[in-house]
Amino acid sequence: MEKDNIAVGLDIGTTKIVAMIGKKNEYGKLEILGIGKSKSLGVARGVVNNITQTIQSIQQAILEAETNSGYKIKDVVVGIAGQHIRSIQHTDYISRNNPEEVIGENDIQLLIDQVNKLAMLPGEEIIHVLPQEFKIDGQSEIKEPIGMYGGRLESSFHVVVGQASSIRNVGRCIQSSGIELSGLTLEPLASADAVLSQEEKEAGVALIDIGGGTTDLAIFKDGIIRHTAVIPFGGNVITEDIKEGCSIIEKQAELLKIKFGSAWPGENKDNEIVSIPGLRGREPKEISLKNLSKIIHARVVEIIEQVFAEIKAYGHEDPRKKLIAGIVLTGGGAQLKHIKQLVEYITGMDTRIGYPNEHLAGNSSEEISSPLFATAVGLVMNSIENSTQSAVRMEVVNEQPRVVYRNVPPVTQQRYEVEESYIEREEAVEQSREVRSNAAVEESTETKIRRSFFDRYVDKIKDFLDNAE
Whether 417 and 312 map to the same domain: the answer is no
* Amino acid 183: pLDDT: 87
The predicted pLDDT at position 235 comes to: 93
The range of the structural domain enclosing residue 130 comes to 86-163
| Residue 50, in any domain of the structure | no
User: Same domain for 324 and 413?
Assistant: no
Mean pLDDT of 303-328: 94
One domain, residues 228 and 340: yes
What is this structure's pTM? 0.80
Shared domain for 212 and 347, answered yes or no, is yes
Contact yes or no for 246/290 (Cβ under 8 A): no
Strands 75-80 and 6-12: parallel
pLDDT at 184 over 90: no
Whether 196 maps to a domain, the answer reads no
Looking at the structure, tell me whether residues 153 and 262 fall in a common domain: no
Q: Indicate if 212 and 159 belong to the same structural domain.
A: no
Q: For the chain, what is the domain count?
A: 3
Q: Is residue 132 a contact partner of residue 221, using CB atoms and an 8 Å limit?
A: no
Q: How many Å apart are CA 48 and CA 14, to the nearest integer?
A: 9
Question: Has residue 198 got a pLDDT over 80?
Answer: yes
Whether residues 139 and 243 share a domain: the answer is no
**d(Cα 123, Cα 125) in Å, to the nearest integer?**
7
**What integer is the mean pLDDT of 89-103?**
92
Counting runs of H as helices and runs of E as strands, what totals does the chain give?
13, 20
Task: Give the 3-state secondary structure of residue 275.
Answer: strand
Tell me which of 12-21, 57-66, 279-288, 311-320 is least confident: 279-288
Q: What's the confidence (pLDDT) of residue 454?
A: 55
Q: How far apart are CA 184 and CA 120, in angstroms?
A: 20
In a domain, 53, yes or no: no
304 and 222 in a common domain: yes
337-362 pLDDT, tens per residue? 999 999 999 999 999 999 998 888 87
Instruction: Please name the residues in contact with 240: beta carbons below 8 A apart, sequence gap of 6 or more.
Output: 250, 253
- The pLDDT value given to residue 407: 36
pLDDT interval class at 65 (50, 70, 90): very high
Residue 233 lies in a domain: yes
Contact present, 182 and 75 (Cβ < 8 Å)? yes
Q: Are residues 243 and 332 in the same domain?
A: yes
- What confidence category does residue 333 fall into, taking pLDDT thresholds of 50, 70 and 90? very high
Q: What is the mean pLDDT of residues 35-55?
A: 92
Segment 360-403, tens digit of pLDDT: 887 777 788 899 999 999 999 988 887 755 443 444 443 443 33
Nearest to 436 by CA among 459, 413, 462, 461: 413
Nearest residue to 261 (alpha-carbon basis) of 276, 239, 286:
239
User: Does the structure show a pLDDT above 60 at 428?
Assistant: no
3-state secondary structure of 362: coil
Question: Is residue 21 one of the residues assigned to a domain?
Answer: no
Residue 410 lies in a domain: yes
Same domain, 103 and 221: no
pLDDT at 398: 38
The answer to whether residue 460 is domain-embedded is no
Query: In this structure, are 409 and 328 located in the same domain?
Result: no
pLDDT tens string 230-252: 999 999 999 999 999 998 999 99
Which of residues 134, 163, 192 is at a domain's end? 163
At 121, which CATH number? 3.30.1490.110
* Cα distance between residue 173 and residue 372, in whole Å: 23
Specify which residues 329 forms β-bridges with. Answer: 208, 353
In a domain, 1, yes or no: no
Same domain, residue pair 234 and 109: no
In this structure, what CATH number is given to the domain that contains residue 283?
Answer: 3.30.420.40
